[in-house]
Every structure is written in C-alpha cells, then in structure tokens.
Amino acid sequence: MEVKAKNPLDLLPPSPFNFFDFKTLITNTDKLESIKFLADNFDHEGFSIWHVHYDKCEGEGQKLFLTSNSVGGFM
C-alpha cells in the first residue's frame, strides 16, 4: 500500500483570520467596510497581500485560449 505524502502546509499554526466571515462581508457589503475588516483582522504572521499590475501588450487577449493558458500558468 502506498503511503500518501503529508502536506507541508498542515504543519503551519492555525490562523485567527476567518476567511468565511471575510468572504461573506465582501460579498454583501460595500468595499470600504470590507477593507476596514481586512485591515483590522488580517493575520500578518500567516499571510501576505500582493498587488500585481499587468501591462497588456498590443494584440494580447485576442485569443481567449492563449490568455487563459497564460493566466493559469501565472497563478
């Protein structure tokens, strides 16, 4: 029988940030209230926030499957 490898993320300590509450709030309220909740409750020890700006070159995004593959590869 093959032993399943453990996920190294399972070794991290639990985070106090409640993703369900944040998801519910961001879906049902305005942006400012959601941002305030995130700023007040964000777990800096367990997560980071990234802002990515992509400069679209001429001709990009015209063929959906190529754009989808590029985004999928990035994520």
Tokens of 57: 């070159």
Measure the CA–CA gap between 30 and 6, rounded to whole angstroms. 40
Q: Residues 46-63: pLDDT tens digits? A: 888 888 777 777 877 777
Amino acid identity, position 72? G
At residue 23, the pLDDT reads 92
pLDDT above 60: residue 15: yes
Q: What is the pLDDT of residue 53?
A: 78
Tell me the domain boundaries of the chain. Answer: 16-49
pLDDT of res. 73: 65
Dig out the tokens for 13 from the structure. 């300590």
